[in-house]
Amino acid sequence: MFDASKIKNQKVLEFIQDRINLLQPKDIVLIDGSEEIYKALTDEAIASGEMIKLNEKTYPGCLLHRTRPNDVARVEARTFICSRKEEDAGPTNNWMDPKEMYAKLNGILDGAYKGRTMYIIPFSMGPVGGPISKVGIEITDSIYVVLNMRIMTRVGMNVLEALGDSNDFVRGTHAKCDVDPEQRYITQFPEDNTIISVNSAYGGNVLLGKKCFALRIASYQGKNEMWQAEHMLILGIERPGKPIVYMCAAFPSACGKTNLAMLIPPKSFQEKGYKVYTVGDDIAWIKKGPDGRLYAINPENGFFGVAPGTNSHSNYNALMSTKKNAIFTNVALNPETKEVWWEALEKDAPDKKKPSFLIDWTGKDWTPDMVDAEGKPVKAAHPNSRFTAPAINCPCISPEFENGAGVPISAFIFGGRRPTTVPLVYQAKSWENGVFIGSIMGSETTAAATGAVGVVRRDPMAMRPFCGYHMGDYFQHWLDIGKTVDLDKQPKFFNVNWFRTDAEGNFIWPGFGDNMRVLDWMLKRIDGEVDAVETPIGFVPKADDIDLTGLDFSKETLKDILKVDNAAWKVEAEGIKEFYKSFGNKLPKSLADQADELLAKVSK
């Protein structure tokens, strides 16, 4: 039972009392971080069928959960930034007046926990008590949420101790209600440090520490407190005889962020002594350190990765991370072995045959020959099925993962899926130019999606769905941060494109571990070991400076995907200028100038 005397912080107590009054739970449980509570909740969830226990030998401590078929992904159309002024939410966010939204949500939340248990989760984003870390309290009626938050964040009484009597904590409320998609709201109130999520029970919508806090609320906090919350992986690379160099990289969803974060270098690089260390795969909080350099922490404690496509070739380290104490959501189950399965799991693992019978993600029988009404194979796992895995399971987790002061950042990398136009890699000419490059990133639509093919969907810094305030102000914040960092301490900016295709639509660059070859060029640029070719868009490598040892890839093809085609970039620059119009007078002048400059240069 909940013992309020365990909580000393008056503001936390007031928040909890207010939630009790509104939600009217039957029972209240404070998640104190003890093994006993997790064990009891796991047993309860298994007994009720909310969770399925997996094979204790091959997947010790692992569970499977299935959501409702109408509740399988983040819902951007129902995600709101409720700032007091509409213009503060900007053109990339849905907005509703906070008073109106609170009234609507309070109506939904009134008595929503009747007959149910309320769980109080004190959690820290970042190592507990660290100089960049922040605290949140999530109230939920879902054991799935409690058990996932335990993996994705640091949970327990030590978080409240670190908070002391401070009022600087995020107030999160989640209620499953009827999981009604028509009444689903994922709402952020940045000025109140408040998140309310109702009528969903799917990870990205309900694990409030992740996108809602660590990106939407934190980006707003970062603007006010002169730091940054970014949708970026963090990785460290060791070269023989050199200190580890850390980089942050932003890509839109489904561009291989988790894969790059856990990359395994090609054999020829491994033999030379190259090593990769993962600090984070999704979010970076970045702040200036005492030495004037920018330092990044991963505020999360686990990975919430997409399962389908993950196999020992695409991401061995992620796969290994899921082998114990992980929670799977909406993957398929082998009912005989009590092991999980998803599409492409056995690819490149010839000892594992495709299973002949499974229970699919909806709980129904599945065989590989099943087709839907259009004759397409029926998928056993949902395409957005996920694993929640503790970061410490990752074989290449960085020894700095628990360092609350973070790691010093030497490069920012941006990228998207661009079958044409954008070269394999190029380097920005300055911080300002780097911000410009980040602001124009995006992915081209392909035949796989409905709508026009070849249209660039812009996703600045991969933050379009996650920036908690006006994106024009966000660009200005990036520019302002740059002004606070001395030139010799500024990270370098790069843009990459792993997704160039040939006339038949096949990817030209092999990607995955071979991306190390491109990162290696960046390391050499950072250390001033190689020069580069100046082009209208930035610095492009000389083909000889990308190490192709051990790779069957011709220099001619490499030269092709490094080329800057002025005619294509003219179309690009015109598209950028059009896109920039959506930010109105909030677009920083220096970015508008850069778009003009680019257009002028490629039009010559």
| Cα separation, 83 vs 468, whole angstroms | 9
Span interacting with Mn ion, options 102-110, 282-290, 390-398, 554-562, rule CB under 5 A: 282-290
Nearer to Mn ion, 255 or 396 (CB): 255
Residues 87-126 that bind ligand OXD (CB under 6 A): none
* Nearest approach, Cβ of residue 281 and ligand OXD (Å): 8
Nearer to ligand OXD, 46 or 73 (CB): 73
| Cα separation, 413 vs 495, whole angstroms | 6
Residue identified by tokens 């008073």 is 99
| Cα separation, 463 vs 472, whole angstroms | 12
Which among Mn ion, ligand OXD, none contacts residue 415 (Cβ within 5 to 8 A by kind)?
Answer: none
Three-class secondary structure assignment of 141-198: CCHHHHHHHHHHCEECHHHHHHHCCCCCEEEEEEECCCCCHHHCEEEEEHHHCEEEEE
Element (H, E) at 236: strand 233-238
* Nearest approach, Cβ of residue 180 and ligand OXD (Å): 23
* Nearest approach, Cβ of residue 593 and ligand OXD (Å): 31
Nearer to ligand OXD, 76 or 578 (CB): 76
With CB under 6 A as the rule, give the number of residues binding ligand OXD.
Answer: 3
Nearer to ligand OXD, 386 or 524 (CB): 386
Nearer to ligand OXD, 233 or 598 (CB): 233
- Residue closest to ligand OXD, measured at CB: 253
* Nearest approach, Cβ of residue 13 and Mn ion (Å): 34
Mutual angle of helices 566-580 and 589-603, in 10-degree steps: 150
CA distances for 444 relative to 197, 208, 232, 435, angstroms: 31, 30, 20, 20
* Nearest approach, Cβ of residue 184 and ligand OXD (Å): 17
| Cα separation, 158 vs 390, whole angstroms | 19
Span interacting with Mn ion, options 258-266, 277-285, 297-305, 332-340, rule CB under 5 A: 277-285
From 212, 248, 255, 467, active-site residue: 255
Residue 207 contacts residue 136 (beta carbons within 8 Å): no
Residue 296: strand pairing partners: 286, 407
Nearer to ligand OXD, 253 or 268 (CB): 253
Which among ligand OXD, Mn ion, none contacts residue 204 (Cβ within 5 to 8 A by kind)?
Answer: ligand OXD
- Residue closest to Mn ion, measured at CB: 282
Span interacting with Mn ion, options 27-35, 274-282, 408-416, 569-577, rule CB under 5 A: 274-282
Nearer to Mn ion, 19 or 464 (CB): 464
* Nearest approach, Cβ of residue 570 and ligand OXD (Å): 31
| Under rule CB under 6 A, residue 432 binds ligand OXD | no
Give which of 492, 483, 430, 437 is closest to 460, Cα–Cα: 437
* Nearest approach, Cβ of residue 459 and ligand OXD (Å): 10
Residue 276 contacts residue 264 (beta carbons within 8 Å): yes
Question: Which string of x and - marks every residue 273-292 that binds ligand OXD (by CB under 6 A)?
Answer: ---------x----------
Neighbour-count burial for 449-463, b at 16+ CB within 10 Å, e otherwise: eeeeeeebebbbbbb
| Under rule CB under 5 A, residue 282 binds Mn ion | yes
**Token digits of residue 563:** 């080329």
Which among ligand OXD, Mn ion, none contacts residue 305 (Cβ within 5 to 8 A by kind)?
Answer: none
| Cβ-Cβ contacts under 8 Å for 55 (sequence gap 6 or more) | 62, 337, 338, 339
| Under rule CB under 6 A, residue 204 binds ligand OXD | yes
Residue identified by tokens 């709201």 is 185
Q: 255 catalytic, yes or no?
A: yes
| Under rule CB under 6 A, residue 459 binds ligand OXD | no
| Cα separation, 147 vs 38, whole angstroms | 7
**Token digits of residue 231:** 């949708």
Residue 193 contacts residue 163 (beta carbons within 8 Å): no
Nearer to ligand OXD, 204 or 442 (CB): 204
| Under rule CB under 6 A, residue 383 binds ligand OXD | no
Nearer to ligand OXD, 283 or 359 (CB): 283
Which among ligand OXD, Mn ion, none contacts residue 572 (Cβ within 5 to 8 A by kind)?
Answer: none
| Cα separation, 97 vs 25, whole angstroms | 28
Span interacting with Mn ion, options 278-286, 346-354, 474-482, 560-568, rule CB under 5 A: 278-286
* Nearest approach, Cβ of residue 204 and ligand OXD (Å): 5
Q: Considering all CA atoms of the chain, what is the largest pairwise distance in Å, rounded to the nearest integer?
A: 73
| Cβ-Cβ contacts under 8 Å for 291 (sequence gap 6 or more) | 408, 489
| Under rule CB under 6 A, residue 400 binds ligand OXD | no
* Nearest approach, Cβ of residue 52 and ligand OXD (Å): 23
| Under rule CB under 6 A, residue 253 binds ligand OXD | yes
In degrees and rounded to multiples of 5, residue 273 shows phi and psi of 105, 15
Write out the residues near ligand OXD by the rule CB under 6 A: 204, 253, 282
Chain residues binding Mn ion by CB under 5 A are 282
The residues annotated as belonging to the active site are 255
